[in-house]
Amino acid sequence: MKTPLCQTLGIELPIVQAPIGSETIAQLAAAVSNSGGLGMLSVTWRSETEIRSIIQHTKTLTNKPYQTFKKIDRSWRRNILRLYKNYF
């Protein structure tokens, strides 16, 4: 089922995993992406080291698109570009 959303995100099905807070794990996001949807990692409550680790782990489980979600507060604004630039 191709929709404009699918074409924009590079996915097969118009299914987007909800960011489920600290319960997000690489295996779930990769499973959703590998099934044709858009997996999502919520990293708001994780340290920079944990974020790097979960992104690296997810990359070993899927080569399909997935998304990360982080609510950015002031302490993260100066670090966010550097962090994501290294992984995407």
30 residue type, one letter = A
Q: Where are the domains of the chain?
A: 4-85
- 21 phi and psi, to 5 degrees? 60, -140
Residue-wise pLDDT for 14-73, tens only, equals 999 988 877 889 999 999 999 999 999 988 888 889 999 999 999 999 999 999 987 766
With a threshold of 0.95, does the pTM exceed it?
Answer: no
Using the predicted structure, report yes or no on whether residue 2 has a pLDDT greater than 90: no
* Token pair recorded at residue 74: 């002031």
Tell me which residue has tokens 């191709």: 2
Using the predicted structure, report yes or no on whether residue 1 has a pLDDT greater than 80: no
Spatial contact of 76 and 68, defined as CB atoms under 8 Å apart: no
